[in-house]
């Protein structure tokens, strides 16, 4: 049984690491190498991070991936699974619910992340757990998993919360992890790529953007939400100049 667990943990780690380098790496290559000039007006901060920053982020991201993979293996491949709501038969709830559960997982995760994130910004915890991530004051796609080992464990623990409160098929879990990571890469992109119509839609009032999270990295406070603006607006922690900064970047993009 232990051999199966170790094999499963390494399998998850391999796939997760591959996902990190393919998605974050491809996006980084496109925006920071191939199309650097084309998207210059979409750059949120004028300065650029250096190679040392990228190396720091990649190394910590691999460490975080290892921690999160271990948590996933414990949840899915140990007796703990019998206490969760993870199910194997798609027909039990139907495909429609499997798709819906991915969105519900994002909502639960956003709530978990907001309060966990604010806690990590407490002065007594920040320098021990969250400072590593905030060393990336000018984030890039490589920043997406750049956490201290403590923060990586707390971040990864959301999977335990999800499978205890929400029925999820393993494919839904995979979809949630993949979609969440892609949104995370966008949030740390360093460029704003939302289309022009987004500003006038109702989505703008509820969904985070790359500018939204970039402000958190540059100012070290406010905009604590991961996917949505809901908790920040409700708790009064949204950065006051967010909309103004969003409009500034988008106006220079669409001149």
Beta bridge partners of 64: none
Beta bridge partners of 86: 168
b/e burial code for range 85-112 (CB count within 10 A of at least 16 → b): ebeeeeeebeeebbeebbebbbebbbbb
Helix (H) or strand (E) holding 55: helix 51-77
Helices (H), 83-192: 95-120, 123-125, 131-134, 149-156, 158-165, 170-187
Of 197, 75, 61, nearest to 142 by C-alpha is 61
Q: Return the pLDDT at 193.
A: 95
Cβ distance 159 to 75 under 8 Å? yes
Q: Return the pLDDT at 46.
A: 84
Which residue shows structure tokens 């070290």? 220
| Whole-angstrom Cα Rg for the chain | 19
Q: Return the pLDDT at 1.
A: 63
Decide: helix, strand or coil at residue 195.
Answer: coil
Of 184, 225, 191, nearest to 206 by C-alpha is 225
- The one-digit pLDDT tens for each residue of the chain (255 residues) are 677 888 888 999 999 999 999 999 999 999 998 887 788 889 999 888 778 889 999 999 999 999 999 999 999 988 888 899 999 999 999 999 999 999 999 999 999 999 999 999 999 899 989 999 999 999 999 999 999 999 999 999 999 999 999 999 999 999 999 999 999 999 999 999 999 999 999 999 999 999 999 999 998 889 999 999 999 999 999 999 999 999 999 999 887
For 148, half-sphere exposure in the C-beta direction (CA atoms, 13 angstrom radius) is 15
Regarding pTM above 0.95, the answer is no
């Amino acid at each position: 049984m232990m051999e199966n667990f170790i094999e499963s943990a390494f399998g998850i780690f391999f796939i997760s690491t591959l996902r990190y380098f393919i998605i974050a790496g491809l996006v980084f290559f496109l925006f920071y190498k191939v199309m650097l000039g084309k998207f210059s007006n979409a750059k949120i901060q004028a300065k650029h991070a250096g190679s040392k920053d990228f190396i720091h982020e990649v190394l910590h991201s691999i460490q975080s991936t290892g921690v999160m993979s271990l948590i996933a293996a414990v949840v899915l491949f140990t007796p703990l699974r019998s206490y969760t709501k993870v199910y194997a038969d798609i027909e039990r709830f139907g495909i429609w619910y499997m798709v819906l559960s991915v969105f519900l997982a994002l909502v639960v995760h956003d709530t978990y992340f907001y309060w966990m994130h604010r806690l990590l910004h407490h002065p007594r915890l920040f320098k021990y757990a969250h400072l590593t991530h905030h060393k990336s004051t000018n984030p890039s796609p490589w920043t997406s998993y750049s956490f201290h080992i403590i923060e990586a464990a707390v971040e990864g623990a959301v999977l335990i919360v999800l499978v205890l409160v929400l029925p999820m098929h393993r494919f839904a879990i995979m979809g949630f992890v993949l979609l969440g990571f892609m949104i995370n890469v966008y949030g740390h992109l360093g460029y704003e790529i939302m289309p022009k119509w987004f500003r006038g839609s109702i989505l703008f009032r509820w969904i985070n953007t790359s500018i939204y999270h970039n402000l958190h990295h540059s100012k070290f406070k406010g905009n604590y939400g991961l996917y949505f603006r809901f908790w920040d607006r409700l708790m009064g922690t949204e950065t006051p100049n967010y909309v103004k900064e969003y409009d500034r970047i988008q106006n220079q993009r669409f001149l």
